[in-house]
A and B are shown apart, each in its own frame.
Chain A
């Protein structure tokens, strides 16, 4: 039985780096997918919007753990066995895409309909309306919930420890197994998560306040 010393601490800290990397990769890939899904969801094409709807509803109605397993075992059906990091990134990206698609669609729909009327009355095409009038406003609206969701993503990276990937939570579990000092170990782990997440949470709330002030004429 080890004691909880500096080597153990740095092991945990290094694993936090993997947590951050996973978060970044999942956010970028999931974000790109999510944007595409949001557009599909808003399109007049019934097939596209139906598919996007179904995809989003499904992902949002199952645990992240299941998204992980389904993508992991689904891929292995085709004989593809990805290394843990890539499997984890892929699953998390799928999870992110559904939630961001919903947030971003909601943001676009939050832009008041009068903005659509005013811009179409000025003879703008639909593409021009999106580019110059609707999307700039939607992005502002989307910022607080997107940052808020980033916090959820960081926390949900803890799930991937189940496929053996050593990110922050798994590192904590391993050190706990070695030292039997759960209070100390998990306090450190929790503190690291807190240090990452709390500023993001505050940022999200701050952005929301700024936005609400800007809106009240």
Chain B
């Protein structure tokens, strides 16, 4: 059974149709990169997968949950699907540790001692254990993003979504985040990532999907997609990305 199944999804914002019949299947343990121009619909597609955007038609099922806009069902789904945002979105009024422990404690109702243990574990996994009691304000962008990843990991998700997570970072800070993501991939996490980092996609993603004008224009194994683009649009996109 697929970890993520997207079937003929249509999504509009008012009169503007942004997703025009997108279908995609992601197996457990697979890493799928989604690339494309701004406006191609890639971020919207990702946000549909955890229900932040509602779809007009089609079906989505993630980690065994069927997508609906019912609040309770959505919460259950989100316990198994983590998302990391471009602007990290850490909670500024609590410490790093509290950020990570909040949802497991109150959404999953887990025991506080276990929650703290798990928080320590994931924070160590992203290499920031010493920042447990620091406030997000005092961290660099790259560090905040790694904390954001740890916060999602603490929920023990089956699928992780990454929405252009390095785009807002200074170039020298992207490396530390990409390393964490690469390690996650090696550990077998099912990952769906919208990214501009072409070399990362090529190296780490099993499958790459190229979106154009709300449709999946090309998709396939990353290696061959990057070396042998079939369509004009992908050729133009990759050509432009080189500069």
Contact = CB atoms under 8 A, between A and B. Distances in A.
Direct contact of A and B (CB under 8 A): yes
Interface of A: 114-115, 117-126, 128, 132-133, 136-137, 140, 214, 217
A122 B74 CA distance: 10
Interface of B: 50, 52, 71, 74-76, 78-79, 82-83, 85, 87, 89-94, 102-103, 106-108, 137, 151-152, 155
B155 A118 contact: no
A123 B93 contact: no
A122 B84 CA distance: 10
Given A115-B91, A118-B89, A125-B107, 6 more contacts: A114-B87, A118-B85, A123-B155, A124-B102, A128-B106, A128-B107
B89 A137 contact: no
Nearest to B138: A217
Contacts of A118: 85, 89-91
Contacts of B52: 117, 120-121
A136 B93 contact: yes
A214 B89 contact: no
Nearest to B102: A132
B88 to A, nearest CB: 9
18 contacts: A114-B85, A118-B89, A118-B91, A119-B103, A121-B50, A122-B152, A122-B155, A123-B103, A123-B107, A124-B75, A124-B102, A124-B103, A124-B107, A128-B107, A132-B102, A133-B91, A136-B94, A140-B93
Contacts of B102: 122, 124, 132-133
Main secondary structure of the interface of A (DSSP, over half): helix
Contacts of B93: 136-137, 140
Contacts of A125: 71, 75, 107
A193 B93 CA distance: 36
A138 to B, nearest CB: 10
Contacts of A123: 75-76, 78-79, 103, 107-108, 155
A214 B92 CA distance: 9
A122 B50 contact: no
A119 B91 CA distance: 9
Nearest to B135: A214
B194 to A, nearest CB: 15
Most buried by A among B71, B90, B103: B103
A136 B174 CA distance: 31
A122 B78 contact: yes
